[in-house]
Structure 1
Amino acid sequence: MDRVGTSVEEEVSSELSRARILITGLTGNSGIDVARTFADLNVRLVVHTAELSPELVELFAFLSQSASEIRLHTLDISTANSAARFAQTSAQAFGGLDAAINMTSISADEINAIADDADLEALIESKLAPLAQLTRVIANRMCLVMSEGLVLNVVNMPEPRDARSAAICGVIRTALAAMIAQEARAWADKGVRINGVGPRAFFDGRAGAYLASEPDVASLALHLASRRGRALSGHVFDATGIDG
């Protein structure tokens, strides 16, 4: 089994070497393992963060040692229009993209601040509208250069602690799933795969497969970006305990 596992890792490593990978929404709590996983494969990496802390500067220097090439962007992409402009620029960095992992985070404070349905709808709009625009522009650029590719949209949230937070997670996951399904249908015949990672809306220990850590998300992203994941599109994978 060890030999089989090593063979699979070597296959994926060879396949994705120098692949053009975009990672957006990197923060000190989100995306670090994803960035490291792809950088270790000698990819050409475009990294976006709006939180250029000393820790992330250090991480960027570390990634530069293993990635084939790397570019860093710090623009604000918190609105749909700014996300679309950034996507156009980033997609041209290496003449196109093979995969994009777009992340957004919802904090415990943002969840606690929800007082009614209007607040929840506004929060969902603010988080998902930029992801939707990134998805559309990146997918369109892939089509223009006749390149198959992957867009993976990740919504990070704290694990639900009670029925209220579980209900909020459920609504957010449903909205993400609707967006993923719509975009997956729109780009299905063009070779662009659209998938998502969203919150697992249970807090009472119910069983079921889910991603339990950011390394799990990184492994999923790697699988979906490789040939082994090319049959998967329109899926939302459950995650829990991955705080925003």
Structure 2
Amino acid sequence: MYMDRVSTSADGYVASEFAQARILITGLTATAGVDVARSFADVQARVIVHTADLSPELIELVAVLTQSADEIRLHTNDISTADTAATFAQTSAQTFGGLDAAINMASVSRSELEGIVRDQDLDAFVSTKLGPLAQLTRVIANRMALVLSEGLILNVLEMPHPRNRREAAVAGYIRTALATMTTNEAHAWAAHGIRINAVGPCAIEDDELNAGAVITNEPDIGSLALYLASRKGQALSGHVFDADGVAC
């Protein structure tokens, strides 16, 4: 899905559209998800933030978000496995009596890429990264359906820019798995008005040109999340938007 088909600017969104909107953001760290959280706080949504990073920078960020968000809740549960992610999704969906949108953040580090040597390593790695996202997606979608609430689930998997063909191949494999999961879940929940989209790695090398527009910074991810959660994005589901080198 090319980014030039949707707006990557937050201009035009008014607080009245998102006032009292119930937004869950998981996987927030001091370097990932900051602009996503700020985008929804700035339009005065009610935000549930999950983080495993209780650094001084993250605590300061939450304090800043509190000044603009209508309400903010902070959770620090472990959601590193599929089971713990499912448990957290069940409880967080009840915080404000339901959810209107959920943005689940995950990232691939350079050291993790270097640790993938064999095919078995890649399969296990993809399962580790996508397993929690899949569980969060299914449980949150189920909770939305139970209370007859249409909404958005956006899974964001950030990854550094591929430096060679091996890393580009890994990025391509991860993106394919994410796209399959996104398509399957989008079809499964379409009848309930629940939209499932994703942002995944773009499999290109330094010496290759990208044929379409891609997301290259996190502010654009924040703007995309806002767009997809708004009335303008209600027709979009089952798409994977390309991001290149957002995680450093």
User: Which letter maps to 1:89?
Assistant: T
- Find the counterpart in structure 1 of residue 3 from structure 2: none
- Find the counterpart in structure 2 of residue 37 from structure 1: 39
- Find the counterpart in structure 2 of residue 23 from structure 1: 25
The whole-number CA distance in structure 2 between the counterparts of 1:113 and 1:75 is 27
Q: Which runs of 4+ in 1 moved over 4 A?
A: none
- Find the counterpart in structure 2 of residue 202 from structure 1: 204
Report if the CA contact (8 A) 1:12-1:226 is conserved: no
The whole-number CA distance in structure 1 between the counterparts of 2:32 and 2:60 is 15
Q: In structure 2, do the counterparts of structure 1 residues 86 and 9 end up closer, same or farther at CA, with 3 Å as the change threshold?
A: same
Deviation at 1:12, TM superposition (A): 4.2
- Find the counterpart in structure 2 of residue 148 from structure 1: 150
State how 1:1-244 maps to structure 2 within 5 Å.
9-203=11-205, 204-243=208-247
Pick the structure with more helix per residue. 1
**What is the root-mean-square deviation of aligned Cα atoms in Å?**
1.3
Report if the CA contact (8 A) 1:34-1:215 is conserved: yes
Give a deviation string over 1:128-154, Cα, whole Å, max 9, x none.
010000000100111111110000000
The whole-number CA distance in structure 2 between the counterparts of 1:155 and 1:10 is 27
Deviation at 1:124, TM superposition (A): 0.4
Report if the CA contact (8 A) 1:158-1:241 is conserved: yes
Secondary structure in 1 aligned to 2:170?
A: helix
Give a deviation string over 1:158-206, Cα, whole Å, max 9, x none.
0111111100000000000000011001000000000000000011233
Deviation at 1:23, TM superposition (A): 0.2
Deviation at 1:208, TM superposition (A): 1.2
Secondary structure in 2 aligned to 1:101?
A: strand
Secondary structure in 2 aligned to 1:82?
A: helix
The whole-number CA distance in structure 2 between the counterparts of 1:160 and 1:237 is 17
Higher relative contact order (CA 8 A, sep 6+): 2
TM-score by length of 1: 0.95
User: Which letter maps to 2:241?
Assistant: F
Secondary structure in 2 aligned to 1:243?
A: coil
| Alignment gaps of 5+ in structure 1 | none
Secondary structure in 2 aligned to 1:25?
A: strand
The whole-number CA distance in structure 1 between the counterparts of 2:211 and 2:13 is 32
User: Which letter maps to 2:166?
Assistant: R
Give a deviation string over 1:63-105, Cα, whole Å, max 9, x none.
0111101000011100000000000011000000000000111
TM-score by length of 2: 0.93
How many equivalent pairs are there? 238
The whole-number CA distance in structure 1 between the counterparts of 2:210 and 2:199 is 19
